């Protein structure tokens, strides 16, 4: 399973899906996160919620054994293809951001579901981990 930043933020904030996200993290044999998503999460959590939330994120990554995956050439091609199909400004209702495209690409390259919240990814062809 690959985890998107939306699921990280929802979990750390205790949003409606937090318990389900925790269960999926506990039950998944392997959970991956793109290095691009790591940067996005760190920046967003620091800017919106401060140092304490950033520390909680780092603890979560360690505690859950989330594997940080480098953004490589294959993912770059998959992410660009996702952007052309589903990206902001390309006419598709999903309106994926570049970091969304990185998470999508990692899930597709590993052929595993993507754990996310919200509706953007639901409008794509990526397999969801959260139903």
As a whole number of angstroms, the distance between CA 28 and CA 24 comes to 6
The token pair that represents 20 in the structure block: 């389900």
Beta strands, E only, the chain: 2-3, 32-34, 67-69, 114-115
Residue 26 marked ligand-binding: no
| Residues 53, 43: Cα–Cα separation, whole Å | 11
- Fill in the DSSP letter of residue 34: E
d(CA 77, CA 48): 31
Q: Which residues are annotated as a binding site?
A: 4, 100
Q: Which residues are annotated as a binding site for Mg(2+)?
A: 4, 100
């Amino acid at each position: 399973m690959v985890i998107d930043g939306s699921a990280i933020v929802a979990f750390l904030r205790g949003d409606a899906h937090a318990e389900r996200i925790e269960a999926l993290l506990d039950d998944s044999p392997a959970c991956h996160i793109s290095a691009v998503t790591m940067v996005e999460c760190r920046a967003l959590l620091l800017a919106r919620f401060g140092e304490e939330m950033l520390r909680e994120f780092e603890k979560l990554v360690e505690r859950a054994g989330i594997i940080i995956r480098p953004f490589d050439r294959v993912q770059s091609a998959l992410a660009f293809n996702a952007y052309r199909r589903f990206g902001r400004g390309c006419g598709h209702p999903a309106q994926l951001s570049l970091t969304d495209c990185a998470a999508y690409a990692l899930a597709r390259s590993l052929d595993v579901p993507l754990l996310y919240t919200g509706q953007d990814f639901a409008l794509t062809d990526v397999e969801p981990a959260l139903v």
